[in-house]
Amino acid sequence: MNFKVSGFDWDKGNWPKCNKHGVTKEEIEEIFLFSPHIMTDPFPYEARIRVIGKTAVGRYIFLVFTFREIDNKTFIRPISARYMHEKEIKHYEKRTQS
């Protein structure tokens, strides 16, 4: 992907779903600053992307998002977020060390 992202698309539709596991907007936005691992998501009705990453204070987050075009600008629209389980963290750490 080689385009500019203008920010995040938050509203009453996606924010409550992301926050239900206690993850903050700041944490979700922060994981993009630290080279997250990005994967495609198999959701059949919309192009979605999975991200696993770590915040500055070391909290591991799993995020599903899509891109949205608003006024000819591209935004990241988070769909779902949660803290990663211990097994997922170990797998993530193993991938980033190889």
Contact 10, 25 (CB under 8 A): yes
Q: What pLDDT, in 10s, does the model give residues 15-67?
A: 999 899 999 999 999 999 988 888 888 888 888 999 999 999 999 999 999 99
For range 2-12, the mean pLDDT: 89
d(CA 53, CA 95): 12
pLDDT, residue 1, reads: 54
For residue 24, count other CB atoms closer than 10 A to its CB.
Answer: 14
* Angle at 8 (CA atoms; ends 21, 51), nearest 5 degrees: 55
What is the 3 state secondary structure string of 23-34? Answer: CCHHHHHHHHHC
pLDDT, residue 22, reads: 94
Higher pLDDT, 93 or 51: 51
Q: What is the model's pTM?
A: 0.85
pLDDT, residue 26, reads: 95
pLDDT, residue 98, reads: 61
